[in-house]
Amino acid sequence: MTPRGPIQVIFTVDTFTRATLGGGLLRHMNYAPEMQRRGVNFQWLTMESDVDTAFQEHHAIQVRVVPMPQNEPLQKRREHLLAAAIREAATHPRGTRVVTTDSCGVTRGTIRLLRDARRQAIPATHNTSMVPGPLPTTWLANLRLKLQCRAFFGAHALVIPQTRAIERFFRDYVGLTTSKLEVIGNGVDSAKYAPTTAEIKSAARQRLGIPTDAPVVLSVGSLVPRKGMDLLIKAWPEVLRRFPTARLVIAGSVGRRSTFMDQAATLDTYTSETLSLIDALPNPKSVMLSGREVEDVRDYYHAADTFAFASEREGLPNVVLEAMACGLPCLLAPYDGFPRDGEEFGTADSHFVKAERTVPSLASGITHLLADSALRSQLGPAARQWMLDTQDLSPMLDRWAAMYHRCAQTP
């Protein structure tokens, strides 16, 4: 079937506000202008938004608020949102429409809606960026979840895992066939995230208030339990013992954020305990916090000597791709869903250094990287080249666009 116009991809998301732009939503919003040039338009249906027409035009997107019934549970409202997305898709010609279900949840209601969409020749895709959290511990609960997931994901034209590890979960646990799965990564803008020069590095440190001659370890992420910043801080006394002038720079928000308000009490406790760890260091000023979400992290990458990542659970974290594209030697602790050697991050000891997600291992890995300039000189360019060869943004966008064009025509 020949498309009769650009492909309309309709996303659903609970809220589309400036304060909650993050993760997959922000990534696809940033994709939108280039995707539009590839014949794919993005539209979001949401329960709440504060973005105006000028914002939408600037980012080449459409955002529409769908009125919701009052006093209904969140999952019921998500089902209403999915139903609205299917109705919107039905206004576009066959072969030019795709609905995505990233935010709608696995329920009988969403399964019923997806089957109805399939009867209308409206294909659905699901972009998934993480291995799901803890699975049920009893065989009966596990069986129920598997059957529900098979019904839900089986009603899609395609499921798009970001990594091979996530693909393995959907193949081995959910039981999807390879024809239902296509791995497409985030991609990284290798022109925007590129190695620095001594002059740029010095200027970046001056802007950030980092001593010119200090060994600098960077980590990027919010101060929340999953990101593991407390582990890096607990490892820091051993680093300071070897490198007294070193700086650990953490670029990310501290304290409550609108996207974490359901975890407010836990986050308050974690923030207080982590700040106390910094205060107890031999030199508390050796840990530098941005204290806020950083819109453009390039100054931080340019100022750093090494990059460390100790998150507990991820998919394909953009910050690791960006650090590697910038040619930073990286210390990575395997998380739930970590790529195998030869996959998205390359190979341990050739493209990055691997450490266990423990304080002694992180301390040893950081000190080893800071002490070995030859190793840093080897890892940085190798990591950069791996990103160019396997994760560069433009070819990845070509793959995203081709997938949407193909799905639109084969519900």
Burial class, 368, CB count within 10 angstroms (exposed 0-12 / middle 13-18 / buried 19+): middle
- Average pLDDT of the chain is 92
Residue range(s) defining the domain that contains residue 65: 7-187+393-409
Mark whether 375 and 292 lie in a shared domain.
yes
Residue 26 has pLDDT above 90, yes or no: no
Quick check: is 352 in a domain?
A: yes
CA neighbor of 82 nearest in space, from 118, 54, 110, 49: 110
Mark whether 234 and 331 lie in a shared domain.
yes
Mark whether 211 and 232 lie in a shared domain.
yes
Mark whether 161 and 34 lie in a shared domain.
yes
Quick check: is 208 in a domain?
A: yes
Do 64 and 70 meet the contact criterion of CB atoms below 8 Å apart?
Answer: no
Quick check: is 192 in a domain?
A: no
Q: What is the pLDDT of residues 166-210, one digit of tens each?
A: 999 999 999 999 999 999 999 999 999 999 999 999 999 999 999
Question: Residue 2 — very low, low, confident or very high, per pLDDT cuts 50/70/90?
Answer: very low
What's the per-residue H, E or C state across 332-388? ECCCECCCCCCECCECECCCEEECCCCHHHHHHHHHHHHHCHHHHHHHHHHHHHHHH
Share of the chain above pLDDT 90, in %: 79
Quick check: is 2 in a domain?
A: no
Residue 262 has pLDDT above 70, yes or no: no
Residue 3 has pLDDT above 50, yes or no: no
Q: What is the average per-residue pLDDT within 328-337?
A: 95
Mark whether 232 and 340 lie in a shared domain.
yes
The strand pairing partners of 161, in sequence order, are 128
What's the pLDDT at 215? Answer: 98
What's the pLDDT at 1? Answer: 42
Quick check: is 193 in a domain?
A: no
Mark whether 401 and 366 lie in a shared domain.
no
Taking the CA atoms of residue 133, residue 137, residue 143 and residue 146 in that order, the dihedral angle to the nearest 10 degrees is 10
Q: E strands within 129-246?
A: 158-161, 216-220
What's the pLDDT at 4? Answer: 60
Q: What is the average per-residue pLDDT within 9-25?
A: 83
Quick check: is 132 in a domain?
A: yes
Mark whether 160 and 214 lie in a shared domain.
no
Q: What is the average per-residue pLDDT within 259-284?
A: 83
What's the pLDDT at 304? Answer: 98
What's the pLDDT at 259? Answer: 54
What's the pLDDT at 367? Answer: 98
Mark whether 383 and 400 lie in a shared domain.
no
Question: Residue 40 — very low, low, confident or very high, per pLDDT cuts 50/70/90?
Answer: very high
Mark whether 137 and 277 lie in a shared domain.
no
The CATH number of the domain where 225 resides is what?
A: 3.40.50.2000
Question: Residue 131 — very low, low, confident or very high, per pLDDT cuts 50/70/90?
Answer: confident
| CA–CA separation, 28 and 51 (whole Å) | 16
Question: Residue 71 — very low, low, confident or very high, per pLDDT cuts 50/70/90?
Answer: confident
Q: What is the pLDDT of residues 336-356, one digit of tens each?
A: 889 999 999 999 999 999 999
Mark whether 172 and 235 lie in a shared domain.
no
Question: Residue 133 — very low, low, confident or very high, per pLDDT cuts 50/70/90?
Answer: confident
Quick check: is 283 in a domain?
A: yes
Question: Residue 312 — very low, low, confident or very high, per pLDDT cuts 50/70/90?
Answer: very high
Give this prediction's pTM. 0.92
Mark whether 401 and 373 lie in a shared domain.
no
Quick check: is 61 in a domain?
A: yes
Mark whether 143 and 268 lie in a shared domain.
no
Burial 351-367 (b: 16+ CB within 10 A, else e): bbbbbebebebbbbbbb
What's the pLDDT at 411? Answer: 58
**Residue 97 identity:** R
Question: Residue 28 — very low, low, confident or very high, per pLDDT cuts 50/70/90?
Answer: confident
Q: How many structural domains comprise the chain?
A: 2
> Of the given ranges (82-96, 202-216, 263-277), which has the lowest mean pLDDT?
263-277
Residue 245 has pLDDT above 90, yes or no: yes
